[in-house]
Amino acid sequence: DQQVKQNSPSLSVQEGRISILNCDYTNSMFDYFLWYKKYPAEGPTFLISISSIKDKNEDGRFTVFLNKSAKHLSLHIVPSQPGDSAVYFCAASAKTGANNLFFGTGTRLTVIP
């Protein structure tokens, strides 16, 4: 059963507008969450993370929000740029256990110039 879910397989946004990518999880033991960006024929690259003790983390144009009660996180990109077009994966990890990352199925973001 998928413990990390990204229910939107794709998203299209105009350049300059905000992109919001969503992620839900089911395992209440998860306490560290990450977003990765992936271009075709390349490995995923780490984008931003958030620990469960926070509800927001910001890095330049990228902000991740965490709602623990809803088991939901989101990635905001503002302003969106054409170079942001990629597949975005949400991932989660638990402090206990083997520290492996559980990934969602990804959302393909297309930023239209």
Partner 1 sequence: DVKVTQSSRYLVKRTGEKVFLECVQDMDHENMFWYRQDPGLGLRLIYFSYDVKMKEKGDIPEGYSVSREKKERFSLILESASTNQTSMYLCASSFGGLNEAFFGQGTRLTVV
Distance of CA 69 to the CA centre of its chain: 18
Binding marks (x or -) toward partner 1, 86..105, rule CB under 8 A?
---x-x-x-x--xxxxxxxx
Task: Provide the 10 A C-beta neighbour count for residue 51.
Answer: 11
Helix (H), strand (E) at residue 73: strand 72-77
Q: Based on CB atoms, which residue is closest to partner 1, 19 or 44?
A: 44
Q: Based on CB atoms, which residue is closest to partner 1, 70 or 98?
A: 98
- Per CB under 8 A, the list member of 7, 9, 17, 56 interacting with partner 1 is 9
Task: Give yes or no for residue 27 binding partner 1 (CB under 8 A).
Answer: no
Please list, in sequence order, all residues whose beta carbon lies within 8 angstroms of the beta carbon of residue 81, skipping any fewer than 6 positions away: 15, 61, 111
C-alpha dist (Å) from residue 6 to 27, 31, 77, 95, 97 = 14, 18, 16, 22, 23
Task: Give yes or no for residue 6 binding partner 1 (CB under 8 A).
Answer: yes
Question: Residue 102 CB, nearest distance to partner 1 (Å)?
Answer: 8
Contact footprint for partner 1 (CB under 8 A) = 2, 6, 9, 31-32, 34, 36, 41-46, 49, 51, 89, 91, 93, 95, 98-106
